Amino acid sequence: MRPDDLGATAAMKPIPGPPPVGISQLQRAQDRLSFLYVERCVVHRDSNALTVTDERGVVHVPAATIGALLLGPGTNVTHQAMVLVAESGATCVWVGEQGVRYYAHGRTLTNSSRLLEAQATLVSNQSSRLRVAREMYAMRFPGEDVSGLTMQQLRGREGARVRQAYRDAAQEYGVEWKRRDYRPDDFAGSDPINMALSAATTSLYGVCHAVIVALGCAAGLGFVHTGHARSFVFDVADLYKAEVAIPAAFKVAGEHDLEDIPAETRRLVRDLIVERDLLVRCARDVRRLLTDSETDAIEDAPDWDVIYLWDRKGNRVVGGQNHSDEAPW
């Protein structure tokens, strides 16, 4: 910098707006509201609080207490609100009604990459990948000992259990059931129950996708599914398919007077998501699968916003300092 530049620097205008929230003021992720869903409102900023305004009035929400802000239909969000969300270590995910569709997301919920690294480590090793796949199956269908099953055996068990879930739901809701037959290129060409199943599973995929990206995980690194940009989304959604998507689809298909089966199915899935607290459960289950911890020690770590350098011995090396043996310039 030239000497004559110093005066210009001193005369610079102050940066507008309130300063960023200090890290010491931010709550740990486990102490925050996991997900805050808003729709048909305006999201703005008042100091270090978000304001949510609709025809009923204004609600102030401390930004540091939010884990992820889900922006539903009819939401307008200001630039300053997004700045505050980012500074507070939270994220935004643009979703459909009650989260049943995933559209886009901002940053992740955490500054740490540990969940992502844990996922990549587990999926890159055949033994650990099989262990996670077994745990996923055990979560879906408790009561079975799958500790010694191969992936081929797991797939066989899964197929049998899902087919039974279809038969049970068909009997409960009085729906004629033949087989799963969906046509990605011709949605309306399927029969009513297959249309409802496709709508229900798509809605469930949207919810799980929103949670996965908010937690900073990779949607494409699946354990059971592979080769698709949403492989892990399909893995996680399968945990709740027999509980949410299948009964919702058969219930809708059993009501023969419905004019819009996809819309009715999405609304029922939406209600079940809220009723069964699926967003929070999904976040908990993903953490447990990747870290063996429901409370997520990852977000409880003291190095919330510390950058490390990689070391091939597996040690952490603190960044932001000179590691040369030579004297600095």
Q: Residues marked as binding for Mn(2+)?
A: 158, 225, 238
CA 201/CA 206 separation, integer angstroms: 9
For 320, the token pair is 């932001």
HEC secondary structure over 73-87 = CCEEECHHHHHHHHH
Which amino acid belongs to residue 151? M
Q: Confirm if 192 and 204 have CB atoms less than 8 A apart.
A: no
Outline where DSSP puts E strands in 89-149. 91-95, 102-105
| Cα dihedral 132, 134, 135, 140 in deg (nearest 10) | 130
Side-chain half-sphere of 46: how many Cα atoms within 13 Å?
A: 11
Q: Confirm if 92 and 85 have CB atoms less than 8 A apart.
A: yes
CA 265/CA 246 separation, integer angstroms: 10
Side-chain half-sphere of 30: how many Cα atoms within 13 Å?
A: 12
What is the full DSSP assignment across 87-120?
Answer: HTT-EEEEESGGG-SEEEE-S-S-S--HHHHHHH
For the sheet with 49-54, list strands across it. 57-62, 49-54, 41-46, 75-77
Going by the annotation, the residues of the binding site are: 158, 225, 238
For 34, the token pair is 């996991």
For 288, the token pair is 């447990």
